Structure 1
Amino acid sequence: MTDTAKDRSRPETRRGPSMADVAKLAGVSSQTVSRVSNERRNVDEATRERVLAAMRRLGYKPNRAARALRTGRFRSIGVITFTLSTYGNMRTLDAITAAAAEEDLTVTVIRIPDPTTGTVSGAYRRLSEQAVDGVVIIFEAHLLDQADITLPDDQPVVVVDSNAGDAYAVVDTDQELGARQATEHLLGLGHPTVWHIAGPEDSFSAHHRVTAWAETLRARGITSPLAMRGDWSTDSGYRIGRELAARPEVSAVFAANDQMALGALQALHEAGRDVPGEVSVVGFDDMPESKAFWPPLTTVHQDFAEVGRRCIEKLVHAIETKEHETGRALVPTRLIVRESTARYAG
């Protein structure tokens, strides 16, 4: 067999579109395509869009590994969380991944079932080994405020919903504002006091909500009733709701999340306590299902999308500038008034 015949017998190798192909189609130089691929800012918007359109048309995908070697950035972030069972954590994670996608960032999630010093540090180390540019940590519990919990300072870190003190950048819903809005709403309807179904004692969010509830009552000269602790579940709200339903003096209840409010509603219904005729109920979260409760639930709306956007914004800024940002950014809440609350009937 001749060499020519051998060459003809070899399968043809199809190469993917090159940077030069993109440059030709977009009518720009290869250097301009490189700048767009590496997300440099020295390209005007019209040219950038033309290059991106050419990339999409040709199916050109920049080599992330090669770009990482050139820029030192992997376009990837990590998320550490210790539970995905709560509504707030799931919505927060969803918002972070959506905001990351807008920035063309990939996300690696590590769940820690038992958050301790070793497991937190271990999770952080595993993420570092997977070549991430920064980390978001979602912890409800009082953990990062403990003296022996420290994280390496060679990567940007943003913390959600935890008492991280001044060591890290923190993004959170304004928990105290939401609790004040709920409590003031019920007092504004003429109720002599407000009973509170609180979240777990080790929860940072629950701590701020119960504190703001008690302080709001105190500012009106009202001694707060004993907060009744639940665990965020509908079952715990039902259990506490049965206790509250047996107290004829209870006319207003603020539950620290919508799921516990739902349990309380069921207990009040079973006890023959009319809602809102006898007892008004307010939740916290504004779950999509809360408007389908019976009656539809008055609740505090959390803007999880904004929390996720700010997390990624802070992380990207820290990655790009190499600045170690600290301080707390609070996302405002708003009260959604529905049919589960009414004026005090006396």
Structure 2
Amino acid sequence: MAEMKPAEVPTPAGGTGRRAGRGRPRRVSMADVAQLAGVSSQTVSRVSNGDPAVIESTRLKVLEAMNQLGYRPNSAARALKRGDFRAIGVITMGLTSTGNVRTLDAIAGSASREGYAVTLIPLDAPTQENVKGAFTRLDELAVDAVVLIMEVHLLDTAALTLPPHVKVVVVDSDATGRFPVVDTDQRQGARQAVQHLLDLGHETVWHLAGPEESFAAGRRSDAWEATLREEGRAVPPALRGDWTPESGYEAGLRLADEPGCTAVFVANDQMALGVLRAFHERGRRVPEDVSVVGFDDIPDAASYIPPLTTVRQDFAEVGALCVDAALRELRGETVTGVRLVPTALVERSSTAAPRPAGGV
């Protein structure tokens, strides 16, 4: 087979394929590959689509021609022919939340291992119009399935019209039965945090909750209160933050002024960082004077001062299960119900037994 540079694409007129006056070769076509390999365009198409019926020697000859010419198959055209695009769309509420970012990262990794790309559309507000617009955009970008990383109780899902051919998976265990659901077991994690502090000997546990509109924050707060009541303990008034260290700091200043506060369950690690700072500034030692437990187990939690005891969410498993549910739907399987991923308490140096009364 004669050597041929990619720029010298043969044309019907026998020229090199350069556009007059532009010095740039035209796009290599399937017909060009077929001519160089000495096969039909149909055979080139079959090789591009991975048809196992193509004779190996012919396949190698076509691939060699593709390499020589720098030919790249049109993935969009191939997808249309197959009826799938090997792409999963993700709609999420912004990228500032640790949970959302780590879940997205896990979805992207799992999708890549399955040979799928991920198309991301972040939203600044969970309105019906925004979500409809995101689905329209993903439909234009050609995806096979969509993962919603948002709290759908903020939406009127009954009124939400979605493209009928797109499969949907939701990361939110408060979602209706309309879609397959994957989420962390928020209640289990909160119970583990509170029970750990009670088992250490604390009389009760104070709580810094997340935003009122957050389902995850609500589940954690409900489980905190339920665990205390089941154990016959007093339920202190809950404080509320917005997931940020700044809000944790403000709440921590208030908690530092509560003489009866010896243990705090904070709804996420970032707010716990602010709480630790506030206690340090007010001279409340952790864990000697007050124990602190967070939620998430972010990568920095082990480097806090002191290293933070926290509830670990298995974001990798959540992401893998989302992709698994989407692919099962694409294979025509019926996927229903809620799949909750267990949490685990990670004990570090921010918790300890309370000091005896009058102790130093």
TM range (shorter): 0.7 to 0.9
Q: Which residue in 2 is equivalent to 1:158?
A: 169
Q: 1:331 aligns with which of 341, 345, 350?
A: 341
The one-letter amino acid of 1:92's match is T
The SS at the match of 2:331 is: helix
User: Is 1:234–2:245 an aligned residue pair?
Assistant: yes
Per-residue deviation, 1:165:
1.4
Q: 1:86 aligns with which of 94, 97, 113?
A: 97
The SS at the match of 1:142 is: helix
Q: 1:201 aligns with which of 182, 206, 212?
A: 212
The SS at the match of 1:288 is: coil
Provide TM-score, normalisation by structure 1. Answer: 0.83
Q: 1:255 aligns with which of 261, 266, 278?
A: 266
Q: 2:87 aligns with which of 76, 82, 88?
A: 76
- For the aligned residue pairs, the C-alpha RMSD in angstroms reads 3.1
Q: Which residue in 2 is equivalent to 1:116?
A: 127
Provide TM-score, normalisation by structure 2. Answer: 0.80
1:268 to 1:9, Cα distance in 2 relative to 1, 3 A: closer
Q: Which residue in 2 is equivalent to 1:344?
A: 354
The one-letter amino acid of 2:220's match is R
The SS at the match of 2:261 is: coil
1:93 to 1:86, Cα distance in 2 relative to 1, 3 A: same
Matches within 5 A, 1:225-304: 225-304=236-315
Give a deviation string over 1:35-87, Cα, whole Å, max 9, x none. Answer: 7x37x9x9xxxx9xxx9xx89x9698654233323321011121111221111
Q: Which residue in 1 is equivalent to 2:5?
A: none
1:207 to 1:152, Cα distance in 2 relative to 1, 3 A: farther
Q: Which residue in 2 is equivalent to 1:25?
A: none
Q: Bigger radius of gyration, 1 or 2?
A: 2
The one-letter amino acid of 2:123's match is I
The one-letter amino acid of 2:189's match is G
Q: Which residue in 2 is equivalent to 1:126?
A: 137
Per-residue deviation, 1:33:
5.7
Aligned residues with identical type, % of pairs: 52
The one-letter amino acid of 2:132's match is S
Unpaired segments of 5 or more residues in structure 2?
A: 1-12, 19-24, 38-42
Per-residue deviation, 1:151:
3.4
Per-residue deviation, 1:226:
1.6
Measure the CA separation in 1 of the matches of 2:228 and 2:334: 39
The SS at the match of 1:281 is: strand
Give a deviation string over 1:259-287, Cα, whole Å, max 9, x none. Answer: 11010011111111110001000000111
Unpaired segments of 5 or more residues in structure 1?
A: 1-5, 23-28
User: Is 1:215–2:226 an aligned residue pair?
Assistant: yes
Q: Which residue in 1 is equivalent to 2:6?
A: none
Matches within 5 A, 1:17-56: 37=50
The SS at the match of 1:196 is: strand
